């Protein structure tokens, strides 16, 4: 993943995960930017990586059923 200027707190990460799950990419990116003081490119890469992790986890759950 991309190196951020400040690590996300667990509550911030959960808020971003909830925004991604709701399909609100703008909110997820905004929270990341505010929390880490990073730039837009970093935020978008991080959000995309998070979405990839989520898809992988959902696929694993589906296979386990």
- Separation of alpha carbons 10 and 16, rounded Å: 10
User: What pLDDT sits at residue 65?
Assistant: 84
Residues whose CB falls within 8 Å of the CB of residue 57, separated by 6 or more in sequence, listed in order: none
User: What pLDDT sits at residue 7?
Assistant: 86
With the C-alpha atoms ordered 11, 12, 17, 18, is the resulting torsion angle positive or negative?
Answer: positive
- Separation of alpha carbons 65 and 31, rounded Å: 34
pTM for the full predicted model: 0.74
pLDDT digits (tens, 9 = 90+) for 22-55: 999 999 999 999 999 889 999 999 889 988 888 8
User: What pLDDT sits at residue 10?
Assistant: 94
Over 90: is that where the pLDDT of 21 sits? no
pLDDT digits (tens, 9 = 90+) for 4-17: 578 889 999 999 99
For 22, other C-beta atoms within 10 Å of its C-beta total 10
């Amino acid at each position: 993943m991309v190196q951020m200027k400040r690590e996300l707190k667990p509550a911030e990460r959960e808020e971003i995960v909830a925004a991604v799950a709701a399909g609100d990419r703008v909110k997820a990116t905004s929270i990341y930017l505010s929390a880490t003081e990073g730039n837009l490119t970093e935020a978008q890469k991080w959000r995309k990586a998070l979405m990839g992790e989520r898809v992988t986890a959902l696929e694993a759950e589906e296979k386990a059923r």
